[in-house]
Amino acid sequence: MTGNDDVPRTPLAHRVPDLGALELLLAVARHGSLGRAARDVGITQPAASSRVRSMERQLGVALLDRSPRGSRLTEAGALVTDWARRVVDAAEAFDAGAQALRDRRDSRLRVAASMTIAEYLLPGWLIALREERPDTAVSLLAGNSAAVARRLVTGEADLGFVEGLSIPEGLDGTVIAHDRLVVVVAPGHPWARRRTPLLPGELAATPLILREHGSGTRQVLDAALAVHGGLAQPLLELSSTTAVKGAAESGAGPCVLSELALGEELSARRLVQVPVAGVRLRRQLRAVWPGGHRPTGPARDLLSLTGRGG
Amino acid sequence: MTGNDDVPRTPLAHRVPDLGALELLLAVARHGSLGRAARDVGITQPAASSRVRSMERQLGVALLDRSPRGSRLTEAGALVTDWARRVVDAAEAFDAGAQALRDRRDSRLRVAASMTIAEYLLPGWLIALREERPDTAVSLLAGNSAAVARRLVTGEADLGFVEGLSIPEGLDGTVIAHDRLVVVVAPGHPWARRRTPLLPGELAATPLILREHGSGTRQVLDAALAVHGGLAQPLLELSSTTAVKGAAESGAGPCVLSELALGEELSARRLVQVPVAGVRLRRQLRAVWPGGHRPTGPARDLLSLTGRGG
DNA sequence: ATGAGGTCATAAGCTGACTTTATGACCGGC
DNA sequence: GCCGGTCATAAAGTCAGCTTATGACCTCAT
């Protein structure tokens, strides 16, 4: 339905070393020695030696210059290591998010966040928080703005994050970041080659791939284009940000998404941004808390990590 | 030396499911059924069932609502799936890069690129290229601008990518993107809270963490600050972008880096951008090729994926 | 030069995770 | 009521990776 059945898709996991191996490689790069790296990741030196060797066999490239004085990365090894770091970083974000999810019930800091923020920003913040306060257990509840507000009011959560134009009733808050909505298309789409910005009327008149009604993204877009004739009938209405990206990438048509959700797709040119003139597609990202008192303790720590409110 | 010995670092790989499991989870999300997902990733249905089950045990969270009509993601499952997607995306970039590296000798499209581009942009482009032209074998050589130019002139490479102010002698080229240098500090640094932009003089007078002399990043910075008194004595001179980031994150001081290298660190607030006034810290990213004739064949395909030069 | 301390590689045996095949239980539609 | 789909369970085989034990090599200091 979304045209998302993808490529032939050969088994990726067989061509990429597992996380343990990638971590080991990073450790070798850090320490300059297989043995020290092995100790760092908690295995023995022969295990590390063997593991790196199979990685080299798998990739078909020499990664290390072994010498009796230690091991240094080859030129290819340096590149591979950097790609490995990105995988490990993503895995760390995964872990941080999962940890929060796991400790849902018995934790000390309970965060409620909108889906977009929970997906794209929170895991990174949680990694940072864990470095500063390793003993803080964080739980995470995801939902729309109304759900976040309700959970704060009822005391089910200590701190919330929402996108949107205003602060929900009964809460205090502060703007922590801005988020732009951008129009993107697949590289093959005619709009990808445009030099002149899209006009609001043009955008409004074009059928787009959108999140379903009620999503924060769509509300902002609706409001911004109301004066230009309102949105055209959508091309597709999908239920998740990722589904929208997938449809757009496979060439179904243009879509409008938060730039937060588009980092990798844009730099990898899987999607291309289309300039737009004369419409303000910014929205605020806010931290919110129960009215009256500023957050304290772990909630304040997390807040300060997001850039505001130390 | 760089303060990069990091956290206690418990074994990450034991807390994050392996790539195969994550891929399986994505397949389940796509197909709505364990059995179909199993076929998709090339294993049997019981294996898939068991694997998802251990993932749920490992994470301590139910991921799937199983029913006789299929399996759908739980709310937690949806979040986990999105984090998983980022890991798998990173793994795909890893694979694409590695593939190119592996086919170095016998491939048809030979690309030479500067380190920064090879690290942060090329793997994504290669993924896109493989989708359009699955049979194109790509090889990748990384080096500095001079090395890229030499390889193009001698016919060792078909297409090159360089950062920098001008096109190397004997080559033609086109600007494919711009890249800004940004000043970043750890969240705890005083500059992280600045409201007023940094003045050029201030920046020039402050000891910074820098790449070693000769790096493209440093050249641009040198040139831009020459009129404001030139760079102060560096705080640290490190040999890789990642080392610079690591030092800055651990609070050693401010550093200046390409925004390409900072995507995740900025959104995760592990590093914070400091506004700067009155200095132009942009540089061009160029595709280059041997003088005279525009690239053809796979080289042109890749070029068009980067946004210019269809 | 000779021994100490560092490096990495190899060999052998063990463990455990993941797989497949073969079932069974459950639900919904015809 | 039976068929086609779903997922779960059980038993048995395979294989990758681990550990322990050892050896070879280089460098430095004595």
CATH number, position B66? 1.10.10.10
Judge whether B65 lies within some domain.
yes
pLDDT at B182: 92
Of B87, B97, B306, the CB nearest to A94: B87
pLDDT at A10: 58
Q: Is residue A205's pLDDT more than 50?
A: yes
Of B13, B98, B268, the CB nearest to A80: B98
CA of B34 to C1' of C28 (A): 18
B8 strand C contact, CB < 7 Å? no
User: Do A28 and A159 fall within a single domain?
Assistant: no
Say whether A80 and B97 touch across the interface (CB within 8 A): yes
Judge whether A111 lies within some domain.
yes
Structural domain ending residue among the three candidates A82, A102, A122: A102
Judge whether B12 lies within some domain.
no
For A253-268, the pLDDT digits (tens) are 999 998 888 877 887 7
Say whether B84 and A97 touch across the interface (CB within 8 A): no
pLDDT at A94: 92
CATH code: domain of residue A192: 3.40.190.290
Structural domain ending residue among the three candidates A70, A102, A134: A102
> What rounded mean pLDDT belongs to chain A?
83
For A27-83, the pLDDT digits (tens) are 999 888 998 999 988 898 999 999 999 999 888 888 998 888 888 888 788 889 989
How many domains does chain B contain in total? 2
- Tell me the CB-side half-sphere exposure of residue A232, using CA atoms within 13 A: 15
> What rounded mean pLDDT belongs to chain B?
83
pLDDT at A151: 85
B242 strand D contact, CB < 7 Å? no
Judge whether B22 lies within some domain.
yes
Give chain B positions within 8 Å (CB) of A9.
40
User: Do B154 and B194 fall within a single domain?
Assistant: yes
Say whether A269 and B124 touch across the interface (CB within 8 A): yes
pLDDT at B184: 94
CA of B62 to C1' of C10 (A): 44
User: Do A152 and A292 fall within a single domain?
Assistant: yes
A34 strand C contact, CB < 7 Å? yes
A55 strand C contact, CB < 7 Å? no
pLDDT at A307: 61
User: Do A170 and A22 fall within a single domain?
Assistant: no
Of B11, B86, B307, the CB nearest to A269: B307
Could you list the residue range(s) of the whole structural domain that residue A200 is in? Answer: 107-309
Q: Is residue A214's pLDDT more than 60?
A: yes
A215 strand C contact, CB < 7 Å? no
Structural domain ending residue among the three candidates B62, B86, B102: B102
Q: Quick one: which residue's CA is nearest to D10's C1'? A: B46
Low-confidence ranges of chain B (pLDDT < 50): 1-9, 308-310
Q: Which residue's structure tokens are 């970043």?
A: B184
User: Do A208 and A285 fall within a single domain?
Assistant: yes
Give chain A positions within 8 Å (CB) of B85.
242
User: Do A267 and A133 fall within a single domain?
Assistant: yes
Q: Is residue A170's pLDDT more than 70?
A: yes
Q: Is residue A8's pLDDT more than 60?
A: no
Whose CA is closest to A308, among A281, A280, A289?
A289
> For A181-206, what is the mean pLDDT?
89
**Among all strands, which nt has the closest C1' to B44 (CA)?**
C20
Name the least confident of A138-152, A230-244, B97-111, B142-156: B97-111
Cβ atoms within 10 Å, residue B44: 11
